[in-house]
Every structure is written in C-alpha cells, then in structure tokens.
Amino acid sequence: MFYKLLIVVFLAVSLQGTPSDGQKKKETLLSEKVSQMMEWASKRAVIRMNGEKFRRLIRAPPRNYSVVIMFTALQPQRQCAVCKQADEEYQILANSWRYSNAFTNRIFFATVDFDEGSDVFQMLNMNSAPTFINFPAKGKPKRADTYELQVRGFAAEQLARWVADRTDVHIRVIRPPNYAGPLMLGLLLAFIGSLAYLRRNNLEFLFNKNVWAFSALSYIHGSSQAQFVAETHIVLLFNAAVTLGMVLLHEAVTSDLDIGKRKIMCVAGIGLVVLFFSWLLSIFRAKYHGYPYSFLLG
C-alpha cells in the first residue's frame, strides 16, 4: 500500500512539473509572434498593419510586448495634411528607438492606414485621424493609452514622454541633421565678407554698436525649452509689422484719400501681413517641432 502511495505521489509531481500541450502551444505561438514582429521591425522602424495582422498579432492573445499604433490617413485623396506631418515625427521616434542601444522586443511601433485597414477603424469605433493608441503587453488599452494629440501636439519628444509614461520605455529622440541653419550662417558670413571686401577702404561700420545689435536679432534658439533675449525683440517687431499691415488695410478701406494712394496702402498692408505672419509661423515651426501650420516660408 505504501509503495502504491509513493507511485501516485511521484506521478502527480511529475505531471505537475511537465508543461501541458496547451501551455506549449501558447509559448510556441508567442515565440512566433515575437519573431515575426522583430523581423518586420528590422526592415522598417514602423510596421505597417492591416486588419488581418492587427487581429492576429495585437488583438489575439498571447502577447508580452506593447505596440504603439498610429491610426492615420496618408493617401492623397484623404487630404490629411496633419497626418503627413505627424507621420514624420512618428517616424523619427520609431527610428530613434529602432537604432538605439536599448532596443528590445518590449515595444514595437506600427501604423494602420484607413485605406489599408478600414475594418480596424470600425472595430475600434474610430472616426478621426491621426490617433495614437498604446496596446499594452497585458490587458486592454485604458483611457490614458490614447494620446491627447490636441493637447500635447505630435512632436517626437512629446510622444516619447507619453510612451515612457505608458510603457516605462525611455527613448532618446535623435533627429536627422538639419543643414538649413549652417547654410544660412554660411550665407550670412559670405554676405558680411563680401560687404567688408567692398568697403575694405572704410571699415568703420565694423565698430558700430548699432550694427552688431541689429545682427544679434537674427539669433533664434532651436529649442522650445529656451530662448534668447533677442527673440522677444524679433517676435515683437514681427507682430508690430503685422499690426501695421492690418492698420494700412483698414485705412485703405475707410480713408478719404484718392484711389491711387489707397491702392498703395492696400498692397503694402497685404505684403506686411503675409510676409511677417509667415515669418512668425516659421519661427514657431523651428522651435516647436511638429507645429502643424505654415505659410509661404514653412
């Protein structure tokens, strides 16, 4: 009797320590899904998803990785200018993660375009784009897993902070080099050099404090977290120019001057508003990456 009891206990312990067929299937399926996601991520930082891929790799268990998805409408016929601009920032974020030393299979970045996955939009009751949603490794997305685009904007740095809050994965955003600044600096130096050469016999202007003070107004800090003192002057002058343009337009309509002078005032007013308002927008776009609006100089 004692030996039979020992055999029963031994069999029970052995069976308890052996994974069931269901557990083995689950582990195999998870391994296949992770391998598939890693293969796609190795080819492009943002994985393109359709309805079938979404249901198989994100909705269906098991899953031990988070997936951030941008729901968008990039096809030209959709005329979603914000989608294109947000996609550029999203690509920067995904590439910063893909090519960082900390890259793992804990999180993936994907996109679902309306024209390729309209069924996914219907499944999630979505009717707007772009929208960013984090699908956590465990459980369903909560309210905070939907990114507040209207409040926070779509700059890669802001998206990275949100991703860190939701997944505890910290991504250092690395932007591709922008040669516009050095090019403009080179042109400025070339202009100054040419001016100095032309006036090589009279270089007193180089010691004029007003000239150097005006030149200092050209400096714009490239970050939204800081600004030079001169930037206040620049924005002030640009706003003053826009205001002057509006005043000229108002006077052109309401004054009793002859038609010729009123036309000149109208043209001057439109020119001031268009030029300096465009400059203001370009400054905001330079400082706040992902700012969606531009005009002429954007």
User: pLDDT digits over 194-218, tens only?
Assistant: 766 776 676 666 666 565 555 555 5
pLDDT at 246 over 60: yes
What average pLDDT does this structure show over 110-126?
Answer: 92
- The average pLDDT across 223-251 equals 76
Q: What is the pLDDT of residues 136-154, one digit of tens each?
A: 998 889 999 999 988 888 8
Q: Residue 288 has what pLDDT?
A: 65
Q: How far, CA to CA in Å, does 292 sit from each of 5, 72, 88, 146, 283?
A: 75, 15, 11, 20, 12
Place of tokens 């040419």: 194
CB 93 within 8 A of CB 87: no
| 171, 93 contact by CB (below 8 A) | yes
**The predicted structure's pLDDT at residue 127:** 87
Distances (CA, A) of 4 to 1, 15, 133: 5, 17, 58
d(CA 60, CA 55): 6
Q: In whole angstroms, how large is the CA radius of gyration of the chain? A: 30
Strands 131-135 and 66-72: antiparallel
Give the whole-angstrom CA distance, residue 105 versus residue 121: 26
Give the sign of the dihedral formed by CA 44, CA 48, CA 53, CA 57.
Answer: positive
Residue 188 pLDDT: 65
Residue at 291: amino acid letter: Y
Q: What is the pLDDT of residues 74-98, one digit of tens each?
A: 998 988 889 998 999 999 999 999 9
* Cα separation, 162 vs 181, whole angstroms: 29
Supply 259's token pair: 């038609």
**Beta partners for 48?**
111
What's the CATH fold of domain 23-167?
Glutaredoxin (3.40.30)
Amino acid occupying residue 202: N
Specify the higher pLDDT residue, 239 or 196.
Answer: 239
Dihedral sign computed on CA atoms, order 141, 145, 147, 148: positive
Q: What is the pLDDT of residue 13?
A: 46
Q: What tokens were used for 291?
A: 């700012």
The answer to pTM > 0.75 is no
Q: What is the mean pLDDT of residues 274-289?
A: 74
Residue 98 to residue 91: CA distance in whole angstroms: 10
The fraction of the chain above a pLDDT of 70, given in percent, is 73
Residues whose CB is less than 8 angstroms from the CB of residue 151 and which lie 6 or more positions away in sequence, other chains included: none
Q: Are strands 131-135 and 107-113 parallel, antiparallel or unpaired?
A: unpaired
Q: Which residue has the higher pLDDT, 217 or 24?
A: 24
pLDDT at 65 over 80: yes
